Amino acid sequence: MEIARIRVNEGRLRKDLEDLGKFGEEPDGGILRPALSDADLKARDWFKGRMRDAGLQVREDAVANIIGRLDPASGAGDEPCIATGSHIDAVLHGGKFDGAAGLCCSLEALRAIQESRLPAPCPLELIVFTDEEGGHYAGTFGSRAMFNLLVEDEIYKSRGAGRPFMAQSLQRMGKDPAQSGKAARSPSEFRAFLELHIEQGPVLDSLGIPIGVVEGIVAIDRHMIEVKGRAGHAGTTPMRLRDDALVKAAGIVTAVNRAVRSLGVDLVGTIGEMKVHPGAFNIIPGKVEMTLDLRSMKKSLVKTARGKIREILRSTRGARLETALSKAGSRMDRKVMELIEESCRQRGVRWKRMGSGAGHDAMSFPTQGIPTGMIFIPCKEGKSHCPEEAIRWEDAAVGAQILADTIVRIAFSTGAESASGKARAN
């Protein structure tokens, strides 16, 4: 097998990344492309065209995941596939490479594999997952829908005022939300899953190392906090007679921050969104809605933090917490990690094993026992989820090359059905 024959094309990859970055582009260089917004829908259509140009058979499932497939000429189309993928949607005012880098590198990898004329012995898939960022509710929506991991009635739930429900967004695309269950697939359809992503942190960039081999992804808890007070006139209500929801919420924000810090450096917690109702100069806030995100490689720490935060809320009148999602951490497959490293070694590329503090659709696959791996590429100064997010084109090309090589290595390996098993909580 002559893997060295596979050659990705940096110029073609760069053009795709630049073109995709125009959908939802903002004047400061960032993008506004929430899941299933107009900008996202246009970007999805464009990407489907690029997939078709590359010879992929493209379909959309019941929850709008886009699935592009290459069946082998050999007639092994019923074999389990090796899938790659990531997401097109973005956080509000985010950057151009979170998700997009993984998709464009995957597409380039599949093009390069075809051009090498190495006969792939199994089907290959490229999947664009719907709403990875949680614009509707809790994130990694498309990959969770694929494996029946959605929270009950999730498509009918909203993250709070002004946010769309997934059911509405699907309807807007002409899909029947009641049929969402049809997106489910059997784990036996997959031989392995690989996701390339920007690191979203500073480690690779600061060390000058082009590839991160991900060992595991953090456990993530997402909660909605609601604090009720009493709305009233801001001019006529004496201070002593107020029940101001925002004042109570401010106390909660500070107490949560203190509680998370008290549990040490292996845990992070963020209240990242807050809506004040009704929201005006002259009205005492009657209600506040906030999101809370807790993460750690150690699931037990997330659990302890959750307990402490529940106590804080119990001591605040009118406060309550609803858990949107509790995701166990995931371990990447040992054999897949070794094949990524073998690909690096053969191309003379330096790599580093590392954990991921960011969540990814790659988390959903190990829960089904599907061997899963992630390849990180550096992003400049580690900036991500902000308009300054940037990469070097040559790093993207190296990532696409290692991805292509690894896909082929897995395809031809005999022992890739390994080792990860069900996600292990730690």
Nearer to ligand GLV, 131 or 338 (CB): 131
Supply 144's token pair. 């969770």
Q: Which does 359 bind (CB under 5 to 8 A by kind): ligand GLV, Mn ion, none?
A: ligand GLV
> Which of Mn ion, ligand GLV, none lies near 135, with the C-beta cut-off 5 to 8 A by kind?
none
Crossing angle between the packed helical segments 100-116 and 393-412, to the nearest 10 degrees: 60
Residue 21's binding partner out of ligand GLV, Mn ion, none, with CB under 5 to 8 Å set by partner kind: none
Which stretch in 8-16, 26-34, 94-102, 241-249 sits in contact with Mn ion by CB under 5 A? Answer: 94-102
Tokens of 381: 């100064």
Q: Name which of 363 and 411 has its Cβ closer to Mn ion.
A: 363
Q: Is 98 in the site for Mn ion (CB under 5 A)?
A: yes
Binds ligand GLV by CB under 6 A, chosen from 167, 358, 402, 403: 358
SS3 135: coil
Strands 211-217 and 351-356: parallel
For ligand GLV, the closer CB: 43 or 246: 43
Regarding 99 and contact with Mn ion (CB under 5 A), the answer is: yes
Using alpha carbons, select from 187, 129, 220 the residue that is nearest to residue 422. 187
Question: How far, CA to CA in Å, does 130 sit from each of 45, 90, 110, 281, 395?
Answer: 13, 11, 21, 38, 26
**From ligand GLV, Mn ion, none, which one binds at residue 131 (CB under 5 to 8 Å depending on kind)?**
none
Q: Which listed residue (85, 359, 373, 399) binds ligand GLV by CB under 6 A? A: 359
99 contacts which partner out of ligand GLV, Mn ion, none, CB within 5 to 8 A by kind?
A: Mn ion
- Cβ proximity to ligand GLV: between 71 and 293 the closer is 293
Query: Quick check: 113 and 120 in contact, CB under 8 A?
Result: yes
Would you give the binding string for Mn ion spanning residues 44-83, x where CB under 5 A is met? ----------------------------------------
Count interface residues toward ligand GLV (CB under 6 A). Answer: 4
Q: Which of the stretches 46-54, 68-76, 91-99, 211-219 binds Mn ion when contact is defined by CB under 5 A?
A: 91-99
Binding residues for ligand GLV restricted to 239-258, rule: CB under 6 A: none
Amino acid identity for residue 261 in this structure: R
Which 111-150 positions form the footprint of ligand GLV (CB under 6 A)?
133, 139
Residues in the chain: 426
Q: Which two tokens stand for residue 210?
A: 């082009």
* Residue number with CB closer to ligand GLV (71 or 133): 133
Least Å distance between CB 292 and ligand GLV? Answer: 13
CA neighbours closer than 13 Å in the CB half-sphere of residue 74 = 11
Q: With binding defined as CB under 6 A, does residue 216 bind ligand GLV?
A: no
Own/partner pairs for 146-150, CB < 8 Å, 24+ apart? 146/61, 146/65, 146/183, 146/184, 146/185, 146/364, 147/184, 147/185, 147/187, 147/364, 147/365, 147/367, 147/368, 148/181, 148/184, 149/364, 149/367, 150/180
Residues 6+ apart with CB under 8 A from 98: 90, 91, 197, 198, 200, 384, 385, 389
Binding positions for ligand GLV, rule: CB under 6 A: 133, 139, 358-359
Binding positions for Mn ion, rule: CB under 5 A: 98-99
